[in-house]
C-alpha cells in the first residue's frame, strides 16, 4: 500500500500490485476458479460435466445467458450461428494484403479488428439487438476466419462453411476439405475438438480477458476489443504456450534428453522454462489438463497414433517433473496447453495455428465478459495507477550542455 502523496495526490492510499497477483479488477458471475482445489465452474457448472454432457455452442449459450439452453433455444441459437458463418466478400480480400508466410495470429488480429469496418451498428452497443448481432457474428465467423488464415498460408482455395455440419465439424471442413474431393469429418475427432473449445471457452480475468475488458472500458467496439484480446493471447506466457510447448517437445526430441531439459528448467541462470507447466491461479492440477489428457488418449487411439513420439515424450516429461522436488514445492503441474498441442498436431492442425484455435474458443468468453462489463451500470473506464520510479522534476538543458 502506497501513500498517494508520493505520487502528487493529496490524500489516500493505493496498492501497488505488480502483475495483479492479488487485485480483483471486476465483479463477475461467469466463471469461478478454485486454484487450490483445481476446480473450474462456468456459471456454477463443473467443467467436467459440461465437457461430458454439452456441446461447445450450449456452453457458449450458457456463458452468455447464464443458463443452459432448452432444446428449442439450442436449435434457434445453432441456426443463428450458422446464418452468420460466412465472411463478407471484401473481408475475404483482406487476406491478400498479408504475406503468405504471415503468422496466422497476425492475420487474425487484422481480420477480426476489420470486422468493425463492416458492421457499423456494432458501435452502438447500448442497443441489445446490436450487441446480440455482434456476439453472434463473432462466434459464427471466428472458425471461418481461422480456417481461411490457414488456407491462405497454404496457398489453397478458401472453403465456405456448410450448414449441414455442426460447429466443430464445420471448422474441420473449412480447414481440411479441398474442392477436389468429398470430405467427411471424423466424428471422434470433431467431438474432441468440440471439447477443446469448451475447455478454452472462458477462464475469468486472465491477461487477454483483462485486455478485452480494459479496451472495452473506454467504449471501444466489440470487434476492436476481441482483436486486442487476440493480440494479448498470442504471447508465449499465455495462449502461445501450446505452440511453445510443442516446439519444446520437438527440441527435446527424444525421451533420453528429458532429464537434461528438466535440469535446465530448474537452473536459475537459464531462462528456459518447461512450457505447458505452471499456472498463475492453479496451484494444483489444472482440471482442463486432466480432461485434455483424456481427449489426447481418445484422439491418438482413434487415429492409431498411441505410440506417437511426442506423446510418449510428454508423458515422460510429466512423470519426471511430478516427482521432482523443484516442481512439487512450487506446485508446477501441467496446464491445459501441455496436452492441447499434441491433440491438435494429431488432428493435423499445424503448430502455428494452435493459438488461433484457442482464440476461436476464447472469443466466447471474451465477448461474454465484455457484455457483462458494459451492461453493468457501475462500470468505469479502467485506469490503473503506477508507482513512479523515474527522475524528479528537472529543467531541459541547452543542447550544448547535454
Q: How far is it, in rounded angstroms, from Cα 110 to Cα 171?
A: 20
Of 69 and 365, nearer to ligand ACO (C-beta) is 365
C-alpha cell at 376: 453493468
Q: What single DSSP character describes residue 6? A: G
Q: How far is it, in rounded angstroms, from Cα 87 to Cα 29?
A: 32
Respond yes or no: is residue 173 known to be catalytic.
Answer: no
Minimum CB distance to ligand ACO, residue 184 (Å)? 31
Q: How far is it, in rounded angstroms, from Cα 92 to Cα 103?
A: 17
Q: How far is it, in rounded angstroms, from Cα 71 to Cα 89?
A: 33
- Measured from the Cβ of residue 400, the count of other Cβ atoms closer than 10 Å reads 5
Respond yes or no: is residue 279 known to be catalytic.
Answer: yes
Minimum CB distance to ligand ACO, residue 223 (Å)? 23
Minimum CB distance to ligand ACO, residue 25 (Å)? 17
Taking the alpha carbons of 254, 255, 257, 260 in that order, is the dihedral positive or negative? positive
Of 82 and 345, nearer to ligand ACO (C-beta) is 345
Q: How far is it, in rounded angstroms, from Cα 359 to Cα 156?
A: 22
Three-state secondary-structure class, residue 41 = strand
Phi first, then psi: what are they for 34, rounded to 5°?
-110, 100
- Catalog residues that contact ligand ACO under the rule CB under 6 A: 237-239, 241, 265, 273-280, 330, 332, 335-337
Q: Which region holds residue 298: left if phi is over 0, alpha if psi is between -120 and 50, else beta?
A: alpha
Of 17 and 306, nearer to ligand ACO (C-beta) is 17
Minimum CB distance to ligand ACO, residue 205 (Å)? 12
Of 37 and 330, nearer to ligand ACO (C-beta) is 330
Q: Residues 267, 279, 376, 395: which is the catalytic one? A: 279
Of 162 and 273, nearer to ligand ACO (C-beta) is 273
Minimum CB distance to ligand ACO, residue 146 (Å)? 17
Of 74 and 280, nearer to ligand ACO (C-beta) is 280
61-87: burial string, b at 16+ Cβ within 10 Å, e else: bbbbeeebbeeeebeebbebbbebbeb
Of 131 and 279, nearer to ligand ACO (C-beta) is 279
Q: How far is it, in rounded angstroms, from Cα 359 to Cα 345?
A: 17
Minimum CB distance to ligand ACO, residue 142 (Å)? 17
Minimum CB distance to ligand ACO, residue 206 (Å)? 6
Q: How far is it, in rounded angstroms, from Cα 100 to Cα 243?
A: 19
Q: Residues 17, 337, 395, 398: which is the catalytic one? A: 337
Three-state secondary-structure class, residue 235 = coil
Helix 354-374 × helix 222-233 angle, to 10°: 140
Residue positions annotated with a catalytic role: 279, 337
Amino acid at each position: 500500500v502506497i501513500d498517494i502523496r508520493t505520487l502528487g495526490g493529496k490524500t489516500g492510499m493505493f496498492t501497488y500490485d505488480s502483475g495483479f497477483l492479488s487485485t480483483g479488477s471486476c465483479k463477475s458471475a461467469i466463471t469461478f476458479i478454485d486454484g487450490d482445489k483445481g476446480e473450474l465452474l462456468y456459471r456454477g457448472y463443473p467443467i467436467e460435466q459440461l465437457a461430458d454432457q454439452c456441446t461447445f455452442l450450449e456452453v457458449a449459450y450458457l456463458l452468455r445467458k447464464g443458463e443452459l439452453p432448452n432444446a428449442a433455444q439450442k436449435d434457434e441459437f445453432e441456426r443463428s450461428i450458422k446464418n452468420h458463418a460466412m465472411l463478407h466478400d471484401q473481408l475475404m480480400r483482406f487476406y491478400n494484403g498479408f504475406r503468405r508466410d504471415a503468422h496466422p495470429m497476425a492475420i487474425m488480429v487484422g481480420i477480426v479488428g476489420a470486422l468493425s469496418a463492416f458492421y457499423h451498428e456494432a458501435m452502438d452497443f447500448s442497443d441489445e439487438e446490436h450487441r446480440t448481432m455482434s456476439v453472434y457474428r463473432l462466434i459464427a465467423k471466428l472458425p471461418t476466419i481461422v480456417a481461411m488464415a490457414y488456407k491462405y498460408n497454404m496457398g489453397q482455395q478458401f472453403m465456405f462453411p456448410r450448414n449441414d455440419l455442426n460447429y466443430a465439424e464445420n471448422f474441420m471442413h473449412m480447414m481440411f476439405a479441398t474442392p477436389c474431393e468429398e470430405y467427411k469429418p471424423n466424428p471422434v475427432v470433431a467431438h474432441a475438438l468440440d471439447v477443446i473449445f469448451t475447455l478454452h471457452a472462458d477462464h475469468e480475468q486472465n491477461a487477454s480477458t483483462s485486455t478485452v475488458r480494459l479496451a472495452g472500458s473506454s467504449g471501444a467496439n466489440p470487434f476492436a476489443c476481441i482483436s486486442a484480446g487476440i493480440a494479448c493471447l498470442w504471447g508465449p506466457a499465455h495462449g502461445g504456450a501450446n505452440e511453445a510447448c510443442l516446439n519444446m517437445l520437438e527440441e527435446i526430441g527424444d525421451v533420453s534428453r528429458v532429464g537434461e531439459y528438466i535440469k535446465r528448467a530448474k537452473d536459475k541462470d537459464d531462462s528456459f522454462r518447461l512450457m505447458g507447466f505452471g499456472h498463475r491461479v492453479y496451484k494444483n492440477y489444472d482440471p482442463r489438463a486432466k480432461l485434455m489428457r483424456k481427449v489426447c488418449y481418445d484422439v491418438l487411439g482413434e487415429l492409431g497414433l498411441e505410440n506417437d513420439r511426442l506423446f510418449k515424450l510428454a508423458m515422460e516429461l510429466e512423470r519426471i517433473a511430478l516427482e521432482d522436488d523443484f516442481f512439487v514445492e512450487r506446485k508446477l503441474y501441467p496446464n491445459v496447453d501441455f496436452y492441447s498441442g499434441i491433440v491438435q498436431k494429431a488432428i493435423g492442425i499445424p503448430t502455428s495455428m494452435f493459438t488461433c484455435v484457442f482464440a476461436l474458443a476464447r472469443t466466447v468468453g471474451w465477448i461474454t465478459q465484455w457484455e457483462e462489463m458494459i451492461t453493468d451500470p457501475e462500470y468505469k473506464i479502467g485506469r490503473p495507477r503506477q508507482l513512479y520510479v523515474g527522475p524528479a522534476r528537472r529543467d531541459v538543458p541547452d543542447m550544448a550542455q547535454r
